[in-house]
Structure 1
């Protein structure tokens, strides 16, 4: 299943850093998201885009994970020659991540 079936995202960007939150629609899906959506998987998913470190922060109280991706915006939104490679575009792309359709 794709992550978008059980979660949505919110994004932001500052300079060359993208910030993506993955938020479970239902609290019972949060453990599955936490188990399968790791910093390593997110970094691999964006391997052609992210040049720096990906740090994951868990926010279980609100059923969310926050990923801070350094070196993700081609030098920064206003400096990049890439079209639409800023946070909102990456937030949609992370929801394409395949995760196992296992029980939470």
Structure 2
């Protein structure tokens, strides 16, 4: 199943760093996000894009995970010629990640 079936996402940026918040639609699905959406999996998912570390922060009271992706924006908004310099499309790309369908 794709993440978009159980969560939504939002991105932000600061310089060459992007952050992606992944929020479960249903509180009951937060544990699935914790289990299957690790910093390592997110780093692998964006392997061609992220040049630095990926750090995951957990916000269990919000049912959310926040990922900070260093070196993900091609030098930053003012230095990148990328079409999506702010990285707003990264949230949609993360929601395409496959996780096991647990029922």
RMSD of the TM alignment (CA)? 0.9
Distance 1:65 1:24 in 2: 9
Tell me the CA shift for residue 85 of structure 1: 4.5
Shift of 1:77: 1.4
Q: Which residue of 2 is the match for residue 58 of structure 1? A: 58
Q: How does 1:1-104 map to 2 (within 5 A)?
A: 1-103=1-103
* Partners of 2:102 and 2:23 in 1: CA distance: 18
Moved over 4 A (4+): none
- Does the CA contact (< 8 Å) of 1:20 and 1:87 recur in 2? no
Q: Unaligned 5+ residue runs, structure 1?
A: none
Count of residues paired in the alignment: 103
TM-score normalized by the length of structure 1: 0.95
C-alpha distance in structure 1 between counterparts of 2:85 and 2:39, whole Å = 19
**CA-CA distance at 1:82 after TM superposition:** 1.6
Alignment partner of 1:88: what SS? coil
Give how far 1:86 is off.
2.7
Q: Deviations over 1:47-92 (max 9, x none)?
A: 0000000000011111000000000000001211221143311111
- Structure 2 unaligned regions, length at least 5: none
Report which of the two has the higher share of helix: 1
TM-score w.r.t. the length of structure 2 is: 0.96
